[in-house]
Structure 1
Amino acid sequence: MTDTLLELAAAGLLRVRANAAYDAVRAKAAAEKDMKRSDRLSVWSPDGKVYLGAVSKTNPETSAGIGDAAAFLDWVKATYPDDVDWDMDIVGPDDEVKAVLYQHAKHLVKLKEVVKPEFRAKVLEASNAAKEPAGPNGELDVPGVVMSAAATSTVTFRPSPDAAATLTELIRSGAVKVPDLLDVPDAPDGGE
């Protein structure tokens, strides 16, 4: 078992370092000006004979969400009252609620207003389309709706089924430089 545990530890070290190296090259590729959001570029062997895969850059967009549920509920009540429903807050002790709730003990529940899920989805869809908080009929500045910033674009590589042999040969021949995963990192604790 000791040999297996040592092998696992060594493989774990290599995995962490390989992931860090991959992330560093992805960040470098994402920063290059030639590649724009939504691009998908083919990668070929240097002689142009073997398709190795594709590099893609994501195009994340802003998205709407409810940041202040109470403000949003107040706006819906005032603007679209038919899209407000009732829900319950459980106010009794858990053990008592579990024992009698199914018997409709009204002293254990309290009604509360909530926006219907279908209407909430319509507002978020309208907000995403408008790129700002918007109602389903084009109203702007809907209270409680927030827009999240677009995420940073990321770059990924998806290899072709027969890329491994060609990439292995390119690495072994020195045509493609990759970091030595066994080099001691700069961090005093070993970097892991």
Structure 2
Amino acid sequence: MSQKDIALAMVVLKHLMDVASKSQTSLRQHASDELDVSDRVSAKSPVDGTLLGTITKSKPKPKVVVSNRFALIVWLEDNYPDRVVVTKTVNPANLAELVPQLEALGLGDYVDTEYEVSSYTLAEITKLSEKAGRPVGPGGELDIPGVRVDFPDGTVSVRLEPDVHHAIVDVIKSGHVALDGTVRPELPGGGE
């Protein structure tokens, strides 16, 4: 399939998907308004009566949302105190003062030390490495460990020109592009 065939098929399918999505949303709302719970309606071909599908309206499931967390906690503490999980943490603003005190008391084992790259340094390494196309450190060091530069495939996007509905319908009617996106090069003007 040529690039032009691919572009033609993708543009046609994008339009069909946009139109179908809007129609489906509207029809789903209309069906919800019209049908009762547990209704089932068959759809048959007006041409030969072949069953095409059915629509049904199921019984909706309840959705639980906590609208006032504080009120729920107070009630649980009064009625089911064993159902409330209490987690005590150290305010991060006090950590710098607390850690040396724990270490001075010989409780340094209760202190975990984690190392992170500062966001500024990470941004600098990212910028330098993207520009060079290979890992680069803050001082210009090449191929630093722990950093990789990948080259992903580009992103393909589809954009429709304004007012193309009738043109796309004509393409589909002509048979050049099937609803599944298949391009038929054997037709005049269909492939290269």
Q: Which has the higher contact order (CA 8 A, sep 6+)?
A: 1
Question: Shared fold by TM > 0.5?
Answer: no
The TM-score normalised by the length of structure 1 is 0.41
The TM-score normalised by the length of structure 2 is 0.41
